[in-house]
Amino acid sequence: MEKESKLWGGRFEGGVYESVERFTESVSFEAEELWMHDIRGSLAHANMLATLGLITEWDRDQIIEGLSKIKKMIESGEFVWRKDREDVHMNIEAALTDMIGEPAKKLHTARSRNDQVVTDLRLWCRDAIDRILTRIKQLQVQLVLLALRNDGLIIPGYTHLQRAQPILLQHLLLSYVEQLQRDAGRLIDCKERLNFCPLGACALAGTGLPIDRLMTSQELAFTAPIRNSIDAVSDRDFVLELLSANSITAVHLSRLGEEWVLWASEEFGFVTPSDSVSTGSSIMPQKKNPDPMELVRGKSARVIGDLVSLLVLCKGLPSAYNRDLQEDKEPLFDSVKAIIGMLEVTSVFAANITFNHERIRSSLPAGYLDATTLADYLVKKGMPFRTSHEVVGRTVALCVAKKCQLSDLSLDDLWGINSIFEKDVYDFLGVENAVNKFTSYGSTGSAEVQKQLQFWCSKLEITNS
Amino acid sequence: MIHSTFAATAATAAAPSSLLGRWSWHPNPIFSHRRFHLPISRPLVLPCVALEISVQSGGAKGETEKESKLWGGRFEEKVNELVERFTESISFEAEELWMHDIRGSKAHANMLAAQGLMTEGDRDKIIEGLGVIKKKIESGKFVWRKDREDVHMNIEAALTDMIGEPAKKLHTARSRNDQVVTDLRLWCRDAVDRILTRIKQLQVQLVKLALRNDGLIIPGYTHLQRAQPVLLQHLLLSYVEQLERDAGRLTNCKERLNFSPLGACALAGTGLPIDRFMTSQELGFTAPLRNSIDAVSDRDFILELLAANSITAVHLSRLGEEWVLWASEEFGFAIPSDSVSTGSSIMPQKKNPDPMELVRGKSARVVGDLMSLLILCKGLPSAYNRDLQEDKEPLFDSVKTITQMLEVTSVFAANITFNHERIHTSLPAGYLDATTLADYLVKKGMPFRTSHEVVGRAVALCVAKKCQLSDLTLDDLCGINSIFEKDVYDFLGVDNAVNKFTSYGSTGSAEVQKQLQFWCSKLEITSSE
């Protein structure tokens, strides 16, 4: 088949090898994601060119109409993406030329694919951030609703996966909400920082044609044009920042995933996911696995990998455009797709789990969860904390020997360790008592947690569970 | 590293099997009829009594009796020495964190006294004691003990040794969980400031370098192929822009991390009547963290700082790559001064731009530090897990490295000279004026795509004739397309080409002057020295 000559082929004498063409084409992975933004950018560019008299209004109208037809063809699935046309930009432009002829050849006036592609990417990232922010908020809402549905439920709090202190489940769920809030903050900062327009930087140096960069910037809703043309085409730091933010979110979700998988185990038995979010085994009939959360935990790996890919990609690259940069897209698209999937699935999972109140309650005594509260009791009686820590430590050792709980010890037992104990000690022992003894700001005490819940219900506009 | 030493010891110690108890060890795996047993199904911690490896226990002056641990109340056995070495953190964290730890403890003591949880007398003794410890550390007299595990327990135990009973009240309503993450946030806040200072210094040096090379045109590259002529100043300012965003990221990070964990205690808060707002304010935080579990769990502020450092490092690696290229014989654009170069121990002629090679190379460890922390945190349950102790070394390394990378790049920028002559002579090569010629045709009314094609053919002609575009005669040009006129020569040649750039942010002289004014004003630069 006769090869179409390349749009950049002016000085070239031979055609390109097919294997090279396959290695270097990008349309196969970028078309679906970028076509809409590419067309949007071209529309803005054409408008500006006409306004500045660089193309006629008739040319501009032809171009806009042609692009609109191409848009419909793509949406209906009729458009054929050609690898020999290499990338999304040249595919669209060549199709436009096929369709409207001469006016299409003016579209690329005062433009390079260098500034065109990075404009497309910034538009894509801006959208992507909005999509991620929406899902972060949805997950926060589901976590708060889950908390509201389990009011008053006390669970063991762990450090080192050893039972530490009793906490309200709500308090733990809200800690995830806080982390997600910071994740959202990072994305908002990123979006603000990336929202500057590269169009008009052309290849790297700008142009002598009388363009209006401010006009295209405004039409594309950027804050302003980028100040330096070399910077505009060189830098992918906005992608690095987005992927970093995604990685931190992914790590947060992997931690939540770890916990919920533990809770679903027989040994913990805190949580039962509904059938609609579980999977079975093809060989073991009894199995009911929390696969979605395992995959949430596991997909954090690829999100981190996407970031590493891009860091390594950019490392040591000279300024301005280098073809390596084509490799920025697949990690970017994958990272955003993965984090969105992770957020959505975690939301669905949170909406479909039930906590086993009975089982949790009967397991609560184990672990001496009231030990620190007992130490606080001694401090309130005037004992230095270090000493109280030691005293309670010995008390726990006694319980271990006697195979009982702290609240089972008699006053005689306690006096045998230290004479400061009084009858009121029993108000501090046992898990329910212990939880209610927490009073500091941000603690797990009921009143404090209620305040947190009110804060979040108000912020997230939640009215009922 | 402690644990790699530990691993090596376990694998290669020629310990007789009697000492290893239930594991048998055949030291000659090359004999296939013998089986090589490794205790792979058991943790590598060997029973207390078995191994007699001599370790530096860190106890004071040869004492062998172990001090009981501050957390040892319920414990009946002493800790195994190998475990102690594996798990201690004092060796890598003391120097960085002691100052913040003391600062945090002072604020905590002040608050406890204000809330009546300790007497003012106790508070005064604590503050005085901590002051003495501070001086000892500063003068190098303080002995850090590994058997006291970490910086927090070292300081507290030393305080107890010094003032006795009052010291035992310091840790009231506090856990190392909230203590350490408070220390870390204070450390990171300082670190961000230090990095921001150096970013600004580098921006200043780059602008000054630009001012010292006013008007110098160099080839601009894409794909490392000569693309269009650019003013050197324009390229240097592109780095300045990137550094500005790097600073923005750090500023956002600092704002986001500036919340106090103190008072979260182990994970759940406390019932003692503390005032979290008081300690938060005394330590210069914006407010206390809203959720105690979040407060002790999350290291996302470190992840964010390391990510910001990684992006800065990648920027510097790109600058490093370019400057190394420019220093090469083939490019010959820049000569670093002797004071920032290194020689070869065998080749007498060599003068290498090593500092910039290392700036480029050290980006690797900065990226690695981020990776370490991401992987560390992945899949960890909430609240505190001992894994988190491993957050410090990557953090300290990343900050140390980026700080140095910035400093060295500044010094290098202040000590290079550009070879104006050599660059000027080499400029014609590469048809750098080609796009400007295409613009000329567009201005004459030709569609851009067509002009691109036409100029492409003009370049092909130059390649055949081994000449520059400006060497072609009008007849040559009209032979390609009749639209060319005599005024075309105003657009050809590099100096003409540069001056044809007029768009906002372009490399045109007027535009670059505006950028320079912007930056001189922002960075408060008055001269190029």
Active site residue B223: yes
d(CA B310, CA A310): 11
Q: Which of residues 394-433 of B touch A (CB under 8 A)?
A: none
* Size (chain A), residues: 465
What does the angle CA A102 – CA A108 – CA A111 come to, to the nearest 5 degrees? 165
Structure tokens at B148: 């006291």
Residues of A in contact with B371 (CB under 8 A): 304, 308
Residues of B in contact with A308 (CB under 8 A): 367, 371
> Does residue A20 or residue B517 have the better pLDDT?
B517
Give the containing element (helix H, strand E) for A274: none
Contact status, residue B220 vs residue A112, Cβ threshold 8 Å = no
Q: Do B234 and A235 touch (CB under 8 A)?
A: no
Long-range contacts of A69-75 (CB under 8 A, 24+ apart): A69/A99, A70/A39, A70/A95, A70/A96, A70/A99, A71/A35, A71/A36, A71/A39, A74/A35
Which member of B229, B235, B506 has the closest CB to residue A319?
B235
Percent of chain A with pLDDT over 90: 88
Helix extents (H) in A166-325 = 169-194, 213-219, 229-234, 237-264, 291-314
Average pLDDT over residues A149-168: 94
Task: Please tell me what DSSP assigns to residue B77.
Answer: S
Q: Among residues A362, A339, A33, A345, which one has the least CA distance to residue A187?
A: A339
**Which of A46-60, A307-321, B43-57, B244-258 bottoms out in mean pLDDT, i.e. has the lowest?**
B43-57
Q: Torsion-angle region of residue B216: left (phi > 0), alpha (psi -120 to 50) or beta?
A: beta
pLDDT of residue B76 exceeding 90, the answer is: no
Fold exhibited by the domain B428-523: Ribonucleotide Reductase Protein R1; domain 1 (1.10.40)
Q: What is the predicted pLDDT for the residue at A2?
A: 55
HSE, CB side, 13 Å, CA atoms: give it for residue B64: 2
* Size (chain B), residues: 529
Residues of A in contact with B442 (CB under 8 A): 54, 109-110, 209
Round the average pLDDT of chain B to a whole number and report it: 87
User: How far lies B361's CA from each of A305, B224, B324, B358, in Å?
Assistant: 20, 20, 12, 5
Percent of chain B with pLDDT over 70: 88
In this prediction, residue A442 has a pLDDT band, given cuts at 50, 70 and 90, of very high
Residues of A in contact with B160 (CB under 8 A): 386
HSE, CB side, 13 Å, CA atoms: give it for residue A374: 29
Q: What is the predicted pLDDT for the residue at A465?
A: 66
Average pLDDT over residues A377-395: 92
pLDDT in tens, B410-424: 999 999 999 999 999
Specify the domain boundaries for CATH 1.10.275.10 within chain B: 85-172
Q: What is the predicted pLDDT for the residue at B72?
A: 72
Fold exhibited by the domain A114-362: Fumarase C; Chain A, domain 2 (1.20.200)
Q: Among residues B311, B516, B448, which one has the least CA distance to residue A116?
A: B448
In this prediction, residue B34 has a pLDDT band, given cuts at 50, 70 and 90, of very low
Q: Do A444 and B268 touch (CB under 8 A)?
A: yes
Angle between helices B392-413 and B354-377 (to 10 degrees): 160
pLDDT of residue B48 exceeding 70, the answer is: no
SS3 at position B342: strand
d(CA B252, CA A248): 15
Q: Among residues B92, B203, B191, B156, which one has the least CA distance to residue B401?
A: B191
Average pLDDT over residues B200-207: 98
pTM for this model (two decimals): 0.88
Specify the domain boundaries for CATH 1.10.40.30 within chain A: 365-460
d(CA B80, CA B84): 6
Q: Does domain B177-425 have CATH number 1.20.1090.10?
A: no
Q: Among residues A333, A334, A337, which one has the least CA distance to residue A34?
A: A333
Specify the domain boundaries for CATH 1.20.200.10 within chain B: 177-425
Q: How many CB pairs under 8 A join A and B?
A: 418
User: How far lies A425's CA from each of A71, A312, A376, A407, in Å?
Assistant: 75, 60, 11, 9
Q: Which residue of B has its CA nearest to A438?
A: B271
**Which of A71-75, A354-358, B173-177, B447-451 bottoms out in mean pLDDT, i.e. has the lowest?**
B447-451
Q: Which residue of B has its CA nearest to A210?
A: B503
d(CA B270, CA B288): 14
Distance, CA of A269 to chain centre: 29
Percent of chain A with pLDDT over 70: 99
Distance, CA of B43 to chain centre: 35
Structure tokens at A337: 């797709």
d(CA A211, CA A45): 9
Q: Among residues B56, B159, B61, which one has the least CA distance to residue B102?
A: B159
pLDDT in tens, A401-437: 999 999 999 999 999 999 999 999 999 999 999 999 9
Q: What is the predicted pLDDT for the residue at B528?
A: 82
Task: Please tell me what DSSP assigns to residue A460.
Answer: T
Q: Do B456 and A9 touch (CB under 8 A)?
A: yes
First to last CA, chain B: 44
CATH class (in words) of the domain with range A365-460: mainly alpha
Residue type, B401: T
Q: Do A159 and B224 touch (CB under 8 A)?
A: no
How would CATH label the architecture of B85-172?
A: Orthogonal Bundle (1.10)
Contact status, residue A371 vs residue A71, Cβ threshold 8 Å = no
In this prediction, residue B22 has a pLDDT band, given cuts at 50, 70 and 90, of very low
Round the average pLDDT of chain A to a whole number and report it: 94
CATH class (in words) of the domain with range A18-109: mainly alpha
Which member of A203, A301, A396 has the closest CB to residue B222?
A203
d(CA B211, CA B204): 10
Q: What is the predicted pLDDT for the residue at B78?
A: 80
> Does residue A219 or residue B63 have the better pLDDT?
A219
pLDDT of residue B46 exceeding 50, the answer is: no
d(CA B100, CA A359): 44
User: How far lies B515's CA from each of A36, A228, B199, in Å?
Assistant: 33, 8, 18
d(CA B101, CA B179): 8
pLDDT of residue A182 exceeding 90, the answer is: yes
Q: Which residue of A has its CA nearest to B306?
A: A244
d(CA B78, CA B57): 13
Residues of A serving a catalytic function are 160, 281
Q: Among residues A237, A48, A323, A229, which one has the least CA distance to residue B228?
A: A229
Q: Facing residues of A224 across strands? A: A196
Q: Which of B156, B374, B450, B492 to mutate to test the interface with A (most CBs of A within 10 A)?
A: B374
Long-range contacts of B164-169 (CB under 8 A, 24+ apart): B165/A384, B166/A384, B166/B118, B166/B121, B166/B122, B166/B125, B166/B126, B166/B129, B167/A386, B167/B125, B167/B126, B167/B129, B168/A384, B168/A385, B168/A386, B168/A387, B169/A384, B169/A385, B169/A386, B169/B112, B169/B117, B169/B118, B169/B122, B169/B126
Q: Which of residues 180-239 of B touch A (CB under 8 A)?
A: 220-224, 227-230, 234-235, 237-239
Is B307 within 8 Å of chain A by CB?
Answer: yes
Q: Is this complex's ipTM strictly greater than 0.95?
A: no
pLDDT of residue B51 exceeding 50, the answer is: no
Which member of B220, B297, B503 has the closest CB to residue A204?
B220
Q: What is the predicted pLDDT for the residue at B8?
A: 35
pLDDT in tens, B481-508: 999 999 999 999 999 999 899 999 999 9
From B18, B41, B223, B345, active-site residue? B223
Average pLDDT over residues B329-357: 91
Q: What is the predicted pLDDT for the residue at B24?
A: 34
Which member of B74, B307, B456 has the closest CB to residue A10?
B456
Contact status, residue B443 vs residue A209, Cβ threshold 8 Å = yes
Q: Do B171 and A385 touch (CB under 8 A)?
A: yes
SS3 at position A458: helix
pLDDT of residue A144 exceeding 50, the answer is: yes
Range B431-458 burial, b when 16+ CB lie within 10 A, else e:
bbbbbbbbbbbbbeebbbbbbbbbbbeb
Q: What is the predicted pLDDT for the residue at B455?
A: 95
Average pLDDT over residues B132-154: 95
pLDDT of residue B44 exceeding 60, the answer is: no
- Look-up of token digits 């950049």: A8
Average pLDDT over residues A17-42: 92
Q: What is the predicted pLDDT for the residue at B20?
A: 34
HSE, CB side, 13 Å, CA atoms: give it for residue A396: 23
Cα distance from A78 to chain B (closest Cα, Å)?
26
In this prediction, residue B65 has a pLDDT band, given cuts at 50, 70 and 90, of low
Angle between helices A237-264 and B354-377 (to 10 degrees): 30
Average pLDDT over residues A32-47: 97
Is A165 within 8 Å of chain B by CB?
Answer: yes
Task: Count the neighbouring beta carbons within 10 Å of the beta carbon of residue A161.
Answer: 13
Is A148 within 8 Å of chain B by CB?
Answer: no
Average pLDDT over residues B176-194: 97
Q: What is the predicted pLDDT for the residue at A163?
A: 93
Q: Which of B68, B152, B314 to mutate to test the interface with A (most CBs of A within 10 A)?
A: B314
pLDDT in tens, B292-305: 999 999 899 999 99
Rg over CA atoms, chain A = 31
User: How far lies A305's CA from each of A258, B189, B375, B455, B459, in Å?
Assistant: 19, 28, 10, 43, 43
pLDDT of residue B9 exceeding 50, the answer is: no
Range B388-402 burial, b when 16+ CB lie within 10 A, else e:
bbbbbbbbbbbbbbb
Q: What is the predicted pLDDT for the residue at B32?
A: 36
Q: What is the predicted pLDDT for the residue at A3?
A: 66
Q: What is the predicted pLDDT for the residue at A18?
A: 84
d(CA B406, CA B214): 24
- Look-up of token digits 């030709």: B446
Specify the domain boundaries for CATH 1.10.275.10 within chain A: 18-109
Structure tokens at B136: 């000892």
Is A450 within 8 Å of chain B by CB?
Answer: no
Helix extents (H) in B164-231 = 176-212
Specify the domain boundaries for CATH 1.10.40.30 within chain B: 428-523
Is B288 within 8 Å of chain A by CB?
Answer: yes
pLDDT in tens, B145-156: 988 989 999 999
